[in-house]
Structure formats: structure tokens, C-alpha cells
């Protein structure tokens, strides 16, 4: 799921880079995409090492992840940045939670792939600056962020329903049946903090 997520994030981020207002910013978005495809390579190599065909392993996640991105195509540069900051933020938190349930070396691989926050800082700065220059932007981007979360949750439920192995891993990795509720609470809290940090309303 993460491998296809990275391959697809590369594709969408590379396209979103065209929305940037100048060449240096376009280059930063392109470099963000470049990180995703490098991550994809590491995950695909590990899948192959484990004897899995990466294409087969990714197949089940193509439809829901494509659907998420099709439903959340940014119309401008700030929507693209908000998507990277808010959408990828939640996804990364989720994958970190799942990674904690894996054994080494896969746990370390997933955490390592997710750890790069350089570009989050860039996105957060840009969003903050845009809101500073025009406070009305906060409303528009807050609505956009809610849509991102809604679409993300909808596709996540689809994945959980269809991918019993993943759902089982999450449920069985926890001591009691409140664990999934706790996981959702942690994801939601982190999301709220992230939104507030750039001046967006949950």
C-alpha cells in the first residue's frame, strides 16, 4: 500500500508542480516528487526481496488510492501544498502506526521512508505566508483540508474492508478492542495540531 502510495504520490506531485508560481517553487515541488519515487524504489526492492511481485502486491491498492487522488485534484498551488501537508501528514501518521506493528527490518524501512519532514516545513511556511498575506485564504484552505480528510477516510474504509490482512494486523497488534478507536483518536489529534500550526480551522 505504501509502495503504490509513493509511486502515485510521485505522479500527482510531479503534475502539481506545474501549479507553482515560479521556477524555484516548481523545482521544490518536483523535488518532493523525486523523494517519493526514491522511496518507492526502496519499498519495491524490499517486496521483491521478500519474494513478492511488487505489481501483484500493489494491485489491490490501485483503485482506492487512484480514487483518493482523482477526487482531490488541486486547482492551484496552495491547494497542492495543503494536500501535501494535510493529506500526506495523516497518511504518514497512519503508516507510522502500522510500522510499529511490524518486525525489523521492515519497521525501520517504513519509518525511514516516512521520516523526511524537510518538505512539510516548506509547505507549512508557504501556507502560513499565504494566510498572512490574505486571511480569507484560511477559510478556503480549511474547507479544502476537510474535503481531503473526508475523501481519505472514505478510501481508507474501503481498503480496510477489502484488505483483511491489513485490518487484522492493526486490530491484533493492540491489546483491547478500544485500540482502533484510540488509533483514530491519535490520528485526529495529530491532524488538529497540524491544522492549527499553519492557521487552518478543523
Give residues in contact with a second copy (CB under 8 A): 4, 7, 10-11, 14-15, 17-18, 22-24, 26-27, 30-31, 33-34, 37-38, 40-41, 44, 54-55, 58, 62
Closest contact distance (angstroms) between CB of 55 and a second copy is 5
In the bound state with a second copy, the residue whose beta carbon lies nearer, of 81 and 138, is 81
Q: Which residues contact 201 (CB under 8 A, 6 or more apart)?
A: 138, 139, 142, 195
User: CA–CA distance from 76 to each of 15, 16, 20, 109, 140 (Å)?
Assistant: 11, 8, 8, 33, 12
CB of 91 to a second copy, least distance (A): 19
- Give the residue with the Cβ less far from a second copy, 33 or 110: 33
Q: Which CA distances in Å does 42 have to 33, 51, 56, 107?
A: 15, 15, 17, 13
To a second copy, the closest distance from the beta carbon of 43 in angstroms equals 10
The CA angle 79-37-81, to the nearest 5 degrees, is: 10
For a second copy, give the closer residue by CB, 14 or 160: 14
Residue with Cβ nearer a second copy (121 or 182): 121
How far apart (Å, rounded) are the C-alpha atoms in residues 111 and 129? Answer: 30
Tell me how far, at minimum, the Cβ of 57 lies from a second copy, in Å. 10
13: exposed, middle or buried (C-beta count within 10 Å: 0-12, 13-18, 19+)?
Answer: buried
Instruction: Kindly state the smallest distance separating residue 103's Cβ from a second copy, in Å.
Output: 26
Residues 153, 64: contact at Cβ < 8 Å? no
Least distance to a second copy, CB of residue 121, Å = 17
Closest to a second copy by CB, 26 vs 146, is: 26
Q: What is the sign of the dihedral through the CA atoms of 108, 111, 114 and 115? A: negative
Of residues 33 and 81, the one with the C-beta less far from a second copy: 33
Amino acid at each position: 500500500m505504501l509502495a503504490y502510495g509513493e509511486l502515485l504520490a510521485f505522479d500527482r506531485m510531479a503534475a502539481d508542480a506545474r501549479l507553482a508560481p515560479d521556477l524555484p517553487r516548481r523545482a521544490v515541488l518536483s523535488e518532493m516528487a523525486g523523494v517519493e519515487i526514491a522511496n518507492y524504489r526502496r519499498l519495491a526492492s524490499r517486496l521483491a526481496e521478500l519474494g513478492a511481485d511488487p505489481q501483484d502486491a500493489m494491485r489491490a491498492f490501485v483503485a482506492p488510492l487512484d480514487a483518493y487522488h482523482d477526487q482531490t485534484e488541486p486547482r492551484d498551488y496552495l491547494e497542492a501544498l495543503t494536500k501535501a501537508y494535510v493529506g500526506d501528514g495523516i497518511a504518514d501518521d497512519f503508516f507510522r502506526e502500522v510500522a510499529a506493528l511490524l518486525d525489523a527490518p521492515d519497521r525501520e524501512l517504513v519509518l525511514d521512508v516516512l521520516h523526511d519532514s524537510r518538505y512539510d516545513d516548506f509547505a507549512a511556511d508557504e501556507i502560513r505566508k499565504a494566510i498572512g498575506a490574505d486571511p480569507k485564504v484560511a477559510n478556503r484552505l480549511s474547507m479544502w483540508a476537510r474535503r481531503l480528510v473526508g475523501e481519505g477516510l472514505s478510501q481508507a474504509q474501503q481498503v480496510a474492508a477489502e484488505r483483511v490482512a491489513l485490518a487484522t494486523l492493526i486490530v491484533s497488534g493492540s491489546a483491547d478492542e478500544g485500540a482502533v478507536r484510540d488509533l483514530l483518536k491519535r490520528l485526529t489529534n495529530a491532524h488538529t495540531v497540524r491544522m492549527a500550526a499553519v492557521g487552518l480551522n478543523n
